[in-house]
Structure 1
Amino acid sequence: MLSFKNVFIIFFILYLVIFLKSKIKINKNITKFIYYILGIYICLVIVSSIFPISINIQRILFNLKNSIGEDNKFLSINYIYESLFLDIELESKVVILKDLAENIIMFIPVGIYLAFLNRRKNIKEVIILGFAFSACIEFVEFLTSVIIGYDYIPSNIYSIILNTIGAVIGYIMFKKLFIVILNINKS
């Protein structure tokens, strides 16, 4: 899961990219720097989504012994509806809304980077690439659960959809912001 610290780091990195773009003409060194930042971002996404894995053997054995998370399952869209609109505690709804927001926020930088690094990309390509990147993460989470032997990190269909929406939002944000920056620089 994304912590506030990780979200702050992601948006700080994006701010740096946009600031540099508005102040300096892009050359090879700037492009290299942006690729390095993209690498750091991808590492943060991997650490935030895949590596909250418990390496605690005792916990794994306890969970297996007590049949906790023994079924690997994909959570469906119905999960969101049931969790938000049926009778459950407010605290649970807040946790679910936080999870939904984190899934969108985590992928906003993907759309921004896709728009920044290749301005010829259209929204269809952003949807496909955002979907593919998210599906890879969910597949690794599923595979991790299979290897560990219990559903430590549930794979979520809705995460793929929300991550893709986040990438599209990032793409649109960058395109709109880029137009504003160009207009400011022309003034």
Structure 2
Amino acid sequence: MLEITFFALASLIGFLIYNGIELWKRNKSVSRVFVDFLFLLYILGLLRLTIFPIPFQTAAIQDSINKLETEQLFIYNFIPFSTIIQGISDAFIYNIYLLQITYLGGNLILLSPFGLYLYFLKRDIQINSLWLIGLASSLFIETLQLLISFILGFSYRQFDVDDLILNSVGFVFGYFAYSYIKRYKMIRR
């Protein structure tokens, strides 16, 4: 299995060296380095959730294929809202509300920290551009999962257009969340 450990360690070392130099030159503030560090941790966690581990040994691939509950090696959904509707239906039929809330909520919040970080970088993005950035970010993850699945010969992760929709909504929500929180705090004072 290809784990994220080496990639994460190399990223953290590179981050510390680069930002240590930037702090020493006084090109960045400590608070900005802290926010960037949190974003790096988020990106590493995102990669761990969506991409890693990648089974690349023949035995690991065969074991994963044997564990599939279907004879179909490639599992994907290109029909918008079908997984969401099926999940809601299953929640009522099989009484698995928590599982479906976790799926929907998890996909909604998956890219929201990325949207929040973008708000810190640039606060005047038009809504159409914001949707495109969110969609492109989610599409990158889903396409990478699909590409790795084709290379491995089976779906180690499922490509789902509903994930694109939920991730994009979460991204836009994350972007606007800070302004709402800030406005709420001003009203409360």
Unaligned regions of 5+ residues in structure 2, if any?
A: 1-26
- For residues 99 and 58 of structure 2, the distance between their equivalents in structure 1, rounded to whole angstroms, comes to 27
Gap change, CA 1:28 and 1:137, over 3 Å in 2: same
- Between 1:38-47 and 1:153-162, the stretch displaced more is 38-47
Say whether 1:45 aligns with 2:46: yes
Unaligned regions of 5+ residues in structure 1, if any?
A: 1-26
Who is 2:84 aligned against? 80
Say whether 1:89 aligns with 2:90: no
| Deviation (angstroms), 1:181 | 5.2
What percent of counterpart residues are identical? Answer: 25
Contact residue 112 and residue 173 of structure 2 kept, 8 A: yes
The root-mean-square deviation of aligned C-alpha atoms, in Å, is 2.8
Name the amino acid aligned to 2:73: E
Q: TM-score, normalised by structure 1?
A: 0.71
- Between 1:57-66 and 1:42-51, the stretch displaced more is 57-66
- For residues 95 and 56 of structure 1, the distance between their equivalents in structure 2, rounded to whole angstroms, comes to 31
Contact residue 72 and residue 142 of structure 1 kept, 8 A: no
Query: Could you tell me which of 64, 69, 73 is aligned with 1:70?
Result: 73
SS of residue paired to 1:112:
helix
Who is 2:21 aligned against? none
| Deviation (angstroms), 1:135 | 0.5
Query: Could you tell me which of 149, 158, 175 is aligned with 1:154?
Result: 158
Who is 2:176 aligned against? 172
- For residues 94 and 155 of structure 1, the distance between their equivalents in structure 2, rounded to whole angstroms, comes to 22
The residue correspondences of 1:1-187 to structure 2 (distance < 5 A) are 28-29=28-29, 30-55=31-56, 57-64=58-65, 68-74=71-77, 76=79, 77-85=81-89, 88-91=93-96, 93-180=97-184
SS of residue paired to 2:125:
coil
Name the amino acid aligned to 2:144: V
Contact residue 127 and residue 164 of structure 1 kept, 8 A: yes
Gap change, CA 1:181 and 1:117, over 3 Å in 2: farther
SS of residue paired to 1:160:
helix
- For residues 117 and 178 of structure 1, the distance between their equivalents in structure 2, rounded to whole angstroms, comes to 16
Name the amino acid aligned to 1:28: K
| Deviation (angstroms), 1:159 | 0.7
SS of residue paired to 1:147:
helix
